[in-house]
Structure 1
């Protein structure tokens, strides 16, 4: 264990971009296995080599910059996906409405009939059926 710790000292290690590459490689492996596309193994191998290259790289600033660029694009998509999952979980107990003024998403309990909703952001009031 001490050898591994000394070997990785000064190296970049893993990050979110590496995790995305590994997940993509696993998905491609399943697709290759199901469809029998043996030529796809070249791309899978390239992804895995890229992961190891990034992980063992000593150019920490360049790898950090790559990860930040990835997060700049992945962050908003990830938040939207997470919010969609939360809305799906709440579908039996809550309804979601958009404020007609500021377009913020508001969560309201279900089964209250017609209610007046006040947006906490812009104080606009509107009536909806929950």
Structure 2
């Protein structure tokens, strides 16, 4: 068993290995394979096998800089999606206690507490004052 591990370690020297993008492609591919069991769709099967082949191609690749830049692009998209989701989640959670208004001049979003009646709001960006009901 140790001999196999040593051979694999020697084989992987200078290769990229698994990263977050490869792992995500593997997870999606395995989910598609499981879905294929129920739907018997040849298209899903081909996509799943193609995804697995692509993720292992990335893992065994010697072009480390290219694979790194692909992974960074994936991480940027993932970060942007998670950021928007978390903002949406916080806005829903916060909507019970606060309201958000847009400044009529500069469109800056301003968060004010709910239930205070008519209030005078001063934009922190452009210093315009406007009245709204909270």
- TM-score of the superposed pair, with normalisation by structure 1: 0.70
Moved more, 117-126 or 40-49: 117-126
2:41 maps to which of 34, 38, 42: 38
CA RMSD of aligned residues (A): 3.2
- Aligned partners of 1:49 and 1:33: how far apart in 2? 19
Alignment of 1:112-123 (within 5 A): 112-123=116-127
Tell me the distance in 2 between the aligned counterparts of 1:69 and 1:108. Answer: 36
Give unpaired runs (5+ residues) of structure 2. none
Q: Distance in 1 between matches of 2:34 and 2:94?
A: 32
TM-score (norm 2): 0.68
How far apart, in 1, do the equivalents of 2:27 and 2:127 lie?
43
Offset at residue 33 of structure 1 (A): 5.4
Aligned residues: 127
Partners in 2 of 1:33 and 1:104 — Cα distance? 51
Give CA deviations for 1:34-79 in whole Å, capped at 9, x if unaligned: 6x14311210121122223223433221012223444555554443
Residue number among 93, 96, 101 corresponding to 1:92 in the alignment: 96
Return 5+ residue gaps in structure 1 as ranges: none
